[in-house]
Structure 1
Amino acid sequence: MREVCLRVQTDTVLGETVLVCGSVAELGEWQIEHARPMHLEHPCTKIWNLNVTVPLLGTVEFRYLIGIVLDCGKVIVRRWESIIHPRTICPNIDKNASIDIFANYDGEEKVESGWLTSETVVQLKLFGEALVLWKKKYRGIPLSFRVTPINLAQRCSEALVVCEDSGQQSNVSDFECTKWAITEIAVMKEGEYEFRPQEQFGHIYSEDEFVVIQSQVMQAESIAYMVDYYTHKKNENIPEHIGFSYVLPGNLTETSGVCTVPITGNRHQPVGQLKVSYLVVRPLNGYICSCQQTFTRFWKKTNRSLDVGHRGAGNARRTDKVENVLENTVASFNYAARHGADMVELDVQLSKDKVPVIYHDYYICIHMKKRKSPLHEDEKLTLAVRDLSVAQLQNLKLAPSGSHNFDFHEDDQDENQPFPTLQHVLEAVNPSVGFNVEIKCPMQLHDGTWEMDGNFDLNEYLDIVLKTLLDYSGSRYIILSCFHPDICTMIRLKQNKYPLLFLTQGQTEKYPPYLDPRTLTVPIATYFALCINILGVNVHTEDLLKNPSLIPFIKQHKLILFCWGEENNHGDTISSLKMKGVDGVIYDKVDLFIGGSREHENVYLVQPNAAPGLMEAASHSIDYLQENSVPAVSA
């Protein structure tokens, strides 16, 4: 064994500590909870050091991280070095004299924001008519707001004191604010999309902005959020404090939702209301992320764009080929891999028994054979995928019905059957082909309806999908994607391995618009991707064809760009998009480099003995579908 002094120079803020984590036990074996805190030599030099004992022979790998070490010993990762290869301590090199520069080595400079270890992230989102003041005297005057987390468990018996006469902000001295709670703000616009500390008097409210206030806290169930409001009158240097609101833990009972709370004036009268959307993100359950390697923003530079097979071979059933493969099956993915696809795109959602399965639509149609029917009549039912177990889903068989232009074959091989599990696909598909895994999650539309009622917890939902990927993906290259902005935020915070693309349908008449403004245009989607530090965006090709300047706009912001849509099913379009700098093109029939797309509805055939369970599932789906009719986005 030998002793080595590690030294690194970097900027930190009050409360932050530099840590080192590496491949040997002395450095925590890549587990953040065992990382070693370093010591600041002198504030002026910004140099941190640590003496460590390492093996005399063999190479030791390590990384520097910047975090917050809590009194309980937990480590909150703020930033960490993310160059693909870790630093090394070699046996024949004396490292004691060198001073490293944080996140800068091997000719590269790359740093990533942290992931959740033990803390919870709570986001409060303001957009549209989030703030309403009822008094006429406040109309037309700029209004700012500032959010402060308060630990109710510290002084729950003491009353809040509001200074009525002085008009100062609500007094938080009677509550002990969380020791380390980090509260930051980001606005989805140019120059303001990165999270940063709030100003003294907060942020000026505008209906046209999408604002995210993000807090990292421990014991989220004990944290309330106080919102102070200030008016900014002309010729007055100091804004006037006019009231406050409280978002209590009881307002944040779900993973995501909307709550409305009153704005209380300084004389305890209601003067308006705050309507805020919220998101609560907890650490990934059942899996501990390593800091050995990350691909979250890694992109291998190549001389060409990637060809991505849409649901494998694409376009439902490939009756034009002797293989007759059905999309989103093992056979379809392997077919695309054999015919040159760099990646295949697939859709993942949970079954009733919480198993990740591969299927695009939220609903399916089946034909139930009526027992003792002389005309062999069928009864058509519409069911939600999530209302059926894996066993029930895999008992269904594709069958022709009405105008559906694909054939049903009783002798379809197992690999060509629908609803394979994610685990099976990871294990059975050629490991040389990459996966673009779209995580399905129903969203609210602009008209207030939902693609599907979401009666599941988003934290649990994502934990199951992510853990399956982490456990069974092996060395396969995987890119995740999702249309739901909150799901993208959660994916980024819960894990530090897989890169992520934000899917957006942009401005189109093909699909109804979503409620969340982050989904509506390519620029705001770009700012959102930059805000949460993900690899890039996956844009509806219709937007790129209408406005080609969006491509350099995205590339100038150093994001990876994929595109999807029926427009991609033409060789000229594919070539043009690649020449303009699109990094990945998702399209059907990769073996032909051209294809068509048709509207279809998958119809399934089951035997009478499977009917009772399906009828029960149908009762849930039918009630919802009678109230909501939503075309599925077909990415």
Structure 2
Amino acid sequence: MDLLFTAHFKVHCAEIKEGEKVHVVGSLPVLGEWDPKKAFPLVKCFDEENVFSGSISVPSSVKQFHFRYIRVAYLDPSENGVSEPIMILSKWETFGSPRACLLEVEHRNGVARENIVDQFGSYGGKTQITDGWILNDQENVVYFRIHGDALKFFVRSYANKEYRLKVEPFDVRYSEMDGDDMVNLPTPELPCFSNTDLSVLTREDPIFGDQYFNGSLFRNNLDYLVFRTRTVSLQNMAFCIEFYHNEKRCAISYVLPSSMSGSHGGTVSPVIGLSGAPVGHIHVDFMVVKRSQFAEKIPEIDSMKETYGRYWRKRTRMLQIGHRGMGSSYTKNIDQRENTIFSLNEAARRGADYVELDVQLTKDMKTVVYHDFHVLVAVAGRDSPTNTTSASGKNKSLHEIAIKDLTLAQLNLLHFEHISRANGSPDSPVSLSVTPDRTETDEMHVPFPSLAQVLRNVDENVGINVEIKYPMFMKDGTHECQGYFEQNKFVDIILAEVAEHAGNRRIVFSCFEPDICTMITKKQHKYPVSFLVVGATNRYVPFQDIRSDSSTIAANFAAGCELLGVNFHSEELLNDRNPITIAEKYGLVKLVWGDDLNSKQVQELFKDEMRVDGLIFDRIGEDDAVKQNVFVVENHNRSSLFASSQHASRSPSISRRCMSTIE
């Protein structure tokens, strides 16, 4: 009969909120085998504040186990008169390597960890706590953004005043109005929603936290407020926006699910004054993040064994990242067709540590690697101002069409030119068309590969920065591509393809659309996200969204949403280094992209003076210096060191050091 050890857990959790509990998840069956839904619950100690404890029995055959502490809360959907509380993940420890218990070393008379008191989120000299992702199909995370010219008052006594705003969720089934006040009727023991927390992107501290009792200051075109709530019964939720002036509530507004069309957009709600009459209105942008529709098919998506969402190994060497492989080929004179397997592998062969590529979806919801939202399709017809001549001498007109309006089969069948040729300029130095001619028979040169094809065929040693292409409004009033896919479904398809085909490859997601970045962090935790920002620019039409228009706001946004880092635009950083300071303050990874990086002198400036973590640029490896992928070098050094250790030792032992797949 196998003897049993007893392992104790005791943890102090200083910032735990009312209603939250602490569980332990780990490598043992009793700890859920890394499934947070099956984690072992600890009990709150009555004689010690914010301390939780518990113990488990472990067979003596188990030499060691690993674990993490997690903070959870329970919400009640109260559906159909039958309530089954649903556990949501509030916070968890996201160290690269989880806590370890070496039973055979630590036990005393069969008892291990008896007098150890852990600190939640602190281990091995590091502190790392991250918001939880969505664990349940019924669970949604609702974001409200109040910014810009959001407030309009048409009653004189309410105009020209400063207001503090607070958002309070409520369950419409258990509330009614009594005059100006909300009255809560008898409710289930547990609510169907969490407290609403707040991030202010225009202040020094953008981290999500509790709201003040009298709200936070909002001034049109000065302040940017982001409110966040979790719920397991969205259809029964409503939100009350309270207005405070001189410490007193003076007006309210309501946002109902019925006024939120779709999962992403904006809504305008009336502001009701003390008399009960409308005095103005407020514009609120909203986003609803849902659980990945493929989560149940990908069991590892919820596993807490490994997480790289906040992990990046700092190096003295700055990483080099190949932009679209070897570079932009349709607007610059580069020999390798961009975003093809050949171009990506060529960058890897020349020493790129990562390669950057662009992913979007076709009409039939297939992933394709291509940068622009539109292409020019050649159609046989009459002469037109924008035309080309086929090999047979027949004129073909070029017509603009969106990638999203073409199926994958059509992309592989028709002839396309790059959108930059829409003006019909015959003097362009660029010779490459999007569609290869008949002499180009190598499939590695073919455009529109799927993300899965790239993940299977590109050198496994090179990391991949997957830029997700999602269209946005521009400051000139135009839109990059109207009528695009619903955000949740769009992101789910890309995440599922990466989860299925990436294996142990290093992956970093990025996107110019900030809400897509937020969404990825709420759907999974394995892969990190870096926010792409244009910032102040004279080269491009800027985005309407201020989060993409200002690198300072971008850094605050990335810190508040717990992203890995920011992909800064070189143009703004060369004029203003303050965003770098903010990124360093919050431990964000600093990557840089832009045409300025074609200069070696500028590259050295970012490396030596700004000490950024990586550069994304064209024509990687085309100088005289011989480069080798940093991960290949490090793996070789590890192997050499291990081989030397084995040769020197008569009784070699296996190293327990965790080798991260994303470094």
Please state which band the TM-score falls in when normalised by the shorter chain: 0.7 to 0.9
Question: Does the CA-based 8 Å contact 1:570-1:593 persist in structure 2?
Answer: no
> 103-112 or 15-24: which moved more?
103-112
| 2:563 partner letter | I
| 2:505 partner letter | R
Question: Does the CA-based 8 Å contact 2:92-2:121 persist in structure 1?
Answer: yes
Give the SS at the match of 2:45.
strand
> 180-189 or 334-343: which moved more?
180-189
Aligned counterpart, 1:357 = 368
Q: 1:369-380 alignment to 2 at 5 Å?
A: 369-370=380-381, 375-380=393-398
1:539-586 alpha-carbon deviations (Å, 9 max, x no partner):
110011122454334323321111111111121111221112111101
Give 1:68 deviation, angstroms: 0.8
Q: 1:230-629 alignment to 2 at 5 Å?
A: 230-232=244-246, 239-287=247-295, 288-316=301-329, 324-370=335-381, 375-397=393-415, 402-404=426-428, 405-407=430-432, 408-412=436-440, 413-580=442-609, 581-593=611-623
Give the SS at the match of 2:365.
coil
Give the SS at the match of 1:546.
coil
Aligned counterpart, 1:91 = 103
| 1:120 partner letter | N
Give 1:411 deviation, angstroms: 3.3
Give the SS at the match of 1:394.
helix
Give 1:273 deviation, angstroms: 0.6
Aligned counterpart, 2:660 = none
Provide the C-alpha distance between the structure 2 equivalents of 1:378 and 1:473, rounded to a whole number of angstroms.
Answer: 40
> 187-196 or 435-444: which moved more?
187-196
Provide the C-alpha distance between the structure 2 equivalents of 1:128 and 1:588, rounded to a whole number of angstroms.
Answer: 36
Aligned counterpart, 1:53 = 57
Provide the C-alpha distance between the structure 2 equivalents of 1:284 and 1:319, rounded to a whole number of angstroms.
Answer: 38
Provide the C-alpha distance between the structure 2 equivalents of 1:573 and 1:10, rounded to a whole number of angstroms.
Answer: 46
Aligned counterpart, 1:145 = 165
Q: Does 1:228 align with 2:228?
A: no
Question: Does the CA-based 8 Å contact 1:152-1:224 persist in structure 2?
Answer: yes
Identity %: 32
- Which 5+ residue runs of structure 1 have no aligned equivalent? 164-169, 233-238, 595-635
Q: 1:91-170 alignment to 2 at 5 Å?
A: 91-92=103-104, 93-94=106-107, 95-97=112-114, 98-118=116-136, 119-154=139-174, 159-163=176-180, 170=181
Aligned counterpart, 2:651 = none
Give 1:174 deviation, angstroms: 4.4
Provide the C-alpha distance between the structure 2 equivalents of 1:352 and 1:122, rounded to a whole number of angstroms.
Answer: 28
Question: Does the CA-based 8 Å contact 2:253-2:272 persist in structure 1?
Answer: yes
Provide the C-alpha distance between the structure 1 equivalents of 2:230 and 2:623, rounded to a whole number of angstroms.
Answer: 47
Provide the C-alpha distance between the structure 2 equivalents of 1:219 and 1:47, rounded to a whole number of angstroms.
Answer: 31
Question: Does the CA-based 8 Å contact 2:193-2:229 persist in structure 1?
Answer: no
Provide the C-alpha distance between the structure 1 equivalents of 2:201 and 2:320, rounded to a whole number of angstroms.
Answer: 31
Q: 1:58-73 alignment to 2 at 5 Å?
A: 58-70=63-75, 72-73=84-85
Q: Does 1:4 align with 2:7?
A: yes
Provide the C-alpha distance between the structure 2 equivalents of 1:272 and 1:175, rounded to a whole number of angstroms.
Answer: 33
Aligned-CA RMSD value:
2.3
CA 1:174/1:41 → structure 2, altered by over 3 Å: closer, same or farther?
closer
- Which 5+ residue runs of structure 2 have no aligned equivalent? 77-83, 296-300, 383-388, 625-663
Question: Which of 202, 225, 230 is the equivalent residue of 1:216?
Answer: 230
> 297-306 or 372-381: which moved more?
372-381
| 1:101 partner letter | Q
1:501-550 alpha-carbon deviations (Å, 9 max, x no partner):
11110011211221211112111111111110111111110011122454
CA 1:355/1:153 → structure 2, altered by over 3 Å: closer, same or farther?
farther
Give 1:320 deviation, angstroms: 8.0
Give the SS at the match of 1:194.
coil
Give the SS at the match of 2:280.
strand
Provide the C-alpha distance between the structure 2 equivalents of 1:505 and 1:182, rounded to a whole number of angstroms.
Answer: 34
Give the SS at the match of 1:241.
strand
Give the SS at the match of 1:160.
strand
| 1:41 partner letter | C
Provide the C-alpha distance between the structure 1 equivalents of 2:49 and 2:113, rounded to a whole number of angstroms.
Answer: 17
Give the SS at the match of 1:171.
strand
Provide the C-alpha distance between the structure 2 equivalents of 1:409 and 1:106, rounded to a whole number of angstroms.
Answer: 58
Question: Does the CA-based 8 Å contact 1:182-1:217 persist in structure 2?
Answer: no
> 503-512 or 284-293: which moved more?
284-293
Question: Does the CA-based 8 Å contact 1:134-1:272 persist in structure 2?
Answer: yes
1:36-64 alpha-carbon deviations (Å, 9 max, x no partner):
21111225343211222223223211111
Q: 1:7-86 alignment to 2 at 5 Å?
A: 7-11=10-14, 12-42=16-46, 44-56=48-60, 57-70=62-75, 72-86=84-98
| 2:11 partner letter | V
Give the SS at the match of 1:340.
coil
Give the SS at the match of 1:489.
helix
Provide the C-alpha distance between the structure 2 equivalents of 1:19 and 1:458, rounded to a whole number of angstroms.
Answer: 32
Question: Does the CA-based 8 Å contact 2:362-2:403 persist in structure 1?
Answer: yes
Question: Does the CA-based 8 Å contact 1:145-1:201 persist in structure 2?
Answer: yes
> 447-456 or 173-182: which moved more?
173-182
TM-score (norm 2): 0.83
| 2:64 partner letter | T
Question: Does the CA-based 8 Å contact 1:569-1:593 persist in structure 2?
Answer: no
| 1:68 partner letter | A
Give the SS at the match of 2:168.
strand
Give the SS at the match of 2:265.
strand
Q: How many residues align?
A: 577
> 439-448 or 475-484: which moved more?
439-448
> 139-148 or 302-311: which moved more?
139-148
1:317-339 alpha-carbon deviations (Å, 9 max, x no partner):
79988xx5311011111110010
| 2:503 partner letter | G
Question: Does the CA-based 8 Å contact 2:404-2:484 persist in structure 1?
Answer: no
Question: Does the CA-based 8 Å contact 2:193-2:232 persist in structure 1?
Answer: no
Give the SS at the match of 1:463.
helix
Aligned counterpart, 2:182 = 171
Question: Which of 210, 215, 222 is the equivalent residue of 1:197?
Answer: 210
Give 1:375 deviation, angstroms: 4.6
Provide the C-alpha distance between the structure 1 equivalents of 2:348 and 2:331, rounded to a whole number of angstroms.
Answer: 15
Give 1:179 deviation, angstroms: 5.0
TM-score (norm 1): 0.86
1:291-315 alpha-carbon deviations (Å, 9 max, x no partner):
1111111111211111000000113
Give the SS at the match of 2:329.
coil
